[in-house]
Structure 1
Amino acid sequence: MFSMMREALAAMPWLILAMSPLANAACECGYSVNASTSDQFTSYTDLMENDFLHTVVDNITEAGWRVQVYNVSSTVLPPQPYGKNFTLENVESNPLKDKYSWTGDSENGGDAGLRLWVRGDTSNGYVQSAEVASVREDILHGSFRIGMKLSGAGATCGAFFWFHSDAQEIDMEFLSKDFTDTQSLVNLVLQTPESVAAGYDASNTSEYKKQPLYFRPDEKVHEYRYDWAPGSVKFYVDGTFVYEMTENIPVDAGHMLMNHWSNGNALWSGGPPKQDTYLTVTYVKSYFNTTNTAKNNAYKSRCANWNATQVCEIPTQTVAPDPSGADGNTTANTYFFSLDGTDKVPGQDVYPSTNGGSSLFGSTSISIYVPVMVALFSWAFAI
């Protein structure tokens, strides 16, 4: 019996691999929203992932982002109470102390992640603010996701957006003055030729939506997402679809940005805040197509014959990915292809992190491995 059992166990790895969806080692043909059998299936060639809970870099450009340094005078039309000054010092990397954990104390205190500061000192007539932009400017269509906790100062604007020009822009903007215990909201905005004609004001166009939220965005980290396709932009919160826009959709390539600012405008940002305040980004995950010729040629080379089994499905985040609280090590430990082995990111730009605690290793594969192993053990011992 034991001889037969040893033979069965020796064969087990091959049987597991044969039955596992991970038997196709690499994602040579890209990354998809939904399974290939779904009528909502969409695939993308490229990815950009940042695990800011574990990112330690001297220069954030090493992580695929550039700090934006510029100012906007209060006298620029229309005049505002204060100018905005975006500086290097207001962007801070603040990783977890324990690189093997997804929760706990941060290096500099407070919330762990990438912190974008707005300062309370306005003595020079400017509000000190923060903005970062992706190094890649070749992004055309995709699924874009951010884990973010907003400021609760009641006087700032925080945003996650894609930008080509003032007439082609996709925004998710949060005004902390709108956060209350009874109702909060996110502003879903497309800047379009129509909004440019209205003085860069999208509020009276069909591409503007005040989307109610069932929580306060300044209390914990949630995932905010938009999926951009030809003729459509769909918005999601913690994986739940909330709204779709189908008019004046962008058609050119651009880049991603995150910012946090105030200029005292009572009709928008409010404020400015009376003390320093920050918003926190725990991750950004983007899956997209590119207009970069070299990257497209590389994709065509590794995916010469498109095969659905070589497209990796992007997991949908269905709970708030928050690192605080007793279950933070579970909720914040979200999936990253780039932390799941080099075979999951063929030809992709992968950015550094301390990455002591690995990302969730494909719970789907574990759920398949276990029944197979149980069945094989049961069969072996029954002989």
Structure 2
Amino acid sequence: MRWVLGLLLVIASPIACETCACGYVLADDAHKSAPLVFTDRLETNFASLSDFNRNSAWTRQQFNVSAESGRGKYGKSFEVENVFSYAGPNVFEHQDAKRDVKKSRRAMGLRVGSIPTAMGAIGAAEIDSARTDMFWGSYRVLMRLTRASGTCGAFFWYRNDSQEIDMEFLSREFNVAAKVFPINLVIHSPESMRDGYDASKSGTLRRVELSFDPTSAFHEYRFDYLPGRVLFFADGQFLAEMSGNKMPNSGGHVILQHWSNGNTLWSGGPPSSDAVIWVRSVKAYFNSSDVQRHKKWNDKCSSGEMRAKTCQVANETSEESRSSDGSAGDDDHANDDGPTTQEDSPGSHEMMPSMARLALWIVACILLSSL
């Protein structure tokens, strides 16, 4: 039944693309402004992605950071094999998978090693979006964190070391018994770079307590990158806002990272055994910093009739979707790269009779409700 539903959703999905031809509207009271329109979309369902080589929207990273450069006791060794899908051969070797296999395995794993290499580095994981023109927008990740003390998990937007928006989780700060689960919200600027990447000195670091245990289930973390300000959320609940001339003002890309280098002031560690963060999906609704892309959108959507072809972005991923393994449906949504990776940007949508797509969409919804 699931494969039938997934096929129907893939076939019917162009109806949604056609409806959203001129963008995505974010209407949120937290912004205290008029509705925001974003022209592009990138959605990746890592629960359905079993082969990273088929996905052109993301790139697993391999590089080394010395202990000195990373300001830690150990270096960091980012390896592509530390980013793996639920279908990979190593899933059941990690304690975080063994603790709750059913909830974790339909996701992408980001692994941190526990034993330093011969070069004195700790194994780490990073995956980056291929697009580097991601500008004003709303960026969300659905993930489950590790309980293994001594790692730093991060979901962030990056232009360079002086323009960066971070949501960082230090597992050494978690206290399950006391129900203490902080999140560190960081914006790096030329000032924080000058201060040795200590954003607390430049006033762009916030430490906020989460109202839930981020290691027990999947939760959605989000930041809205807007002109002159950045807003942060968890499961749709407002956490903090930063504003002013220290905010970024360029296009960049999205990064998911998990690492440890023994720095007692930040990641701590390394963990006593391999630690894994599980990522189920990433959703981004944004404007491009590419002038030609922006011109293409203006040309296509200049008329009032076309401007109405937008879709409203939900404030948060529903609890039902957060608890689902996400295995039904398509891998990504975009319009450039085929079945595994589809990005929605202004323009191309496959041609299929609208009534036929509508009928398929209705059938898919009926099947979904009957599961």
Bin of the TM-score, shorter chain as denominator length: 0.7 to 0.9
Residue 57 in structure 1 maps to residue 51 in structure 2 = yes
2:115 is aligned, of 99, 114, 121, to 121
Contact residue 91 and residue 131 of structure 1 kept, 8 A: yes
Q: Please give the secondary structure, in 2, of the residue aligned with 1:59.
A: helix
Distance 1:336 1:58 in 2: 15
- Equivalent residue for 2:314? 315
1:101-120 mapped onto 2 (5 Å cutoff):
110-120=104-114
1:263 and 2:251 aligned: no
Alpha-carbon displacement from aligned partner over 1:290-318 (angstroms, at most 9, x marks no partner): 12244223323431325552111112226
The correspondence for 1:27, drawn from 5, 20, 27, is: 20
Distance change in 2, residues 1:119/1:267 (3 Å): same
Q: Which moved more, 1:259-268 or 1:25-34?
A: 25-34
Specify the code of the residue in structure 1 equivalent to 2:288: T
- Residue identity matched to 2:76: K
Show the counterpart of 2:73: 81
Q: How many residues in Structure 1 have an aligned counterpart in Structure 2?
A: 315
Distance 2:77 2:101 in 1: 26
- Out of 41, 45, 49, the position equivalent to 2:39 is 45
On the 8 A contact 2:28/2:315 being kept in 1, the answer is: no
Greater shift in the superposed pair: 195-204 or 171-180: 195-204
Q: 1:187 aligns with which of 184, 189, 195?
A: 184
Matched ranges for 1:350-369 at <5 A: 352=340
Higher alpha-carbon deviation: 297-306 or 137-146: 297-306
Paired residue type of 1:352: T
2: CA distance between counterparts of 1:113 and 1:316? 22
What residue number does 1:243 align with?
240
| 1:55 to 1:334, Cα distance in 2 relative to 1, 3 A | closer
Q: Counterpart of 1:149?
A: 144
Cα distance in 2, alignment partners of residues 93 and 108 from structure 1: 14
Kept after mapping to 2: 8 A contact 1:63/1:351: no
2:83 counterpart of 1:91: yes
Per-residue Cα deviation, 1:204-241 (whole angstroms, up to 9, x for no partner): 33211001101221111100000011011000110111
Q: CA separation in 2, counterparts of 1:23 and 1:202?
A: 41
CA distance in 2, matches of 1:224, 1:336: 22
Partner of 1:379: none
Whether the aligned pair in 2 keeps the contact of 1:191 and 1:200 (CA below 8 Å) is yes
Contact 2:103 2:217 (C-alpha < 8 Å) held by counterparts: no
Q: Structure 1 CA distance, aligned partners of 2:162 and 2:16? A: 45
Q: Which residue of the other structure, out of 286, 293, 296, is the alignment partner of 1:298?
A: 296
For residue 340 of structure 2, what is the amino acid of its counterpart? P
Three-state SS of the structure 1 residue aligned to 2:265 is: coil
Q: Which structure's CA Rg is the greater one?
A: 1
Instruction: State the one-letter code of the partner of 1:67.
Output: R
Give RMSD over aligned pairs.
3.4
Q: Once the 2 structures are TM-superposed, how far is the Cα of residue 40 of structure 1 from its aligned partner?
A: 3.8
Q: What is the correspondence of 1:144-223 to structure 2 with a 5 Å cutoff?
A: 144-181=139-176, 182-223=179-220
Cα gap change, 1:35 to 1:122, in 2 (>3 Å)? closer
Q: Which runs of 5+ in 1 are unaligned?
A: 1-21, 97-105, 340-344, 354-360, 371-383
Matched letter for residue 46 of structure 1: D
The list of structure 1 runs, each at least 4 consecutive aligned residues, that deviate by more than 4 angstroms after superposition, is 22-25, 106-110, 318-323, 331-339, 347-351
Quote the Cα distance in structure 2 between the aligned partners of 1:195 and 1:179: 26
Structure 1 196/39 Cα, relative in aligned 2: closer, same or farther at 3 Å?
Answer: closer
Alignment equivalent of 2:60, drawn from 67, 84, 96:
67
- Mapped partners of 1:336, 1:132: distance in 2: 20
Q: Is the CA contact (8 Å cut-off) linking 2:26 and 2:35 kept in structure 1? A: yes
The structure 2 residue matched to 1:232, chosen from 229, 232, 235, is: 229
- The structure 2 residue matched to 1:274, chosen from 266, 272, 281, is 272
TM-score normalised by structure 1 residue count: 0.74
**Superposed displacement of residue 194, structure 1:** 1.3
Q: CA deviation at 1:28?
A: 1.7
Distance 1:280 1:245 in 2: 28
Secondary structure at the aligned position of 1:120 is classed as coil
Structure-2 residue corresponding to 1:288: 286
Contact 2:250–2:289 at 8 Å: present in 1 too? no
Task: Please give the TM-score of this superposition, normalised by the length of structure 2.
Answer: 0.76
* CA distance in structure 1 between the aligned counterparts of 2:70 and 2:314, rounded to whole angstroms: 44
**Inter-CA distance 113–57: structure 2 relative to 1 (3 Å threshold):** same
Q: Contact 1:94/1:107 (CA < 8 Å) preserved in 2?
A: no
Distance 1:263 1:322, change over 3 A: farther
Q: Deviations over 1:325-351 (max 9, x none)?
A: xxx34x958999966xxxxx6x56666
Closer, same or farther in 2 for the Cα pair 1:169/1:178, shift >3 Å? same
SS at match of 2:255: strand
**Over residues 262-315 of structure 1, what are the superposed CA-to-partner deviations in whole Å (9 max), with x where a residue is unaligned?**
001111101101211110110000011112244223323431325552111112
